[in-house]
Amino acid sequence: MARAEAWRLDASNYPVSMVIQSRFGDLDSLGHINNVAMAGIFETARVHFHHRLGRHPAELGVRWLVAAVDLKFVEESHFPYDVVVHSGIGHIGNSSWSLLSAAFQQGECVATCDTVMVMKGPKGNRVIDDAIRAVMEENSARPGLAHAD
């Protein structure tokens, strides 16, 4: 199984969480939640997280596009246990950012997912405005988050 940074395996280091029910149809022939289903679980959590940022970018003629996804399977995941996806913003650039997520079952991390997002407008890349940047910074994932004042 893949290795993730130790701090990524602690749910308290992420500011946002979402519970997603596993489905019998998500299973592979070995009885594990299959890789494609886990990618879909992370996608659902990613969309939920981005709606939390407070406004839909299409209102401003902007699109948020997925540029890259890095999914690491840490442990086996199983039906019928819920998957709790914890997420937070990682790096914030001028027109892109990373969303760091980790999926947990029964308190154990089963997978991590890093997604690079790019902000596009009608004329190419679009700079992240100050309002969205502030919300992103408030929703950052980082070691020791639960202990921050």
pLDDT band at 146 (very low <50, low <70, confident <90, very high): low
| Model pLDDT, residue 129 | 84
Rounded CA-CA distance 113/61 in Å is 28
Rounded CA-CA distance 13/90 in Å is 11
Instruction: Give 56-94 pLDDT, tens digit per residue.
Output: 566 667 788 899 999 999 999 998 999 999 999 999 999
Instruction: Give 91-143 pLDDT, tens digit per residue.
Output: 999 999 999 999 999 999 999 999 999 988 877 778 888 888 999 999 999 88
Rounded CA-CA distance 17/77 in Å is 18
The structure tokens listed for 80 are 């019928």
| Model pLDDT, residue 2 | 61
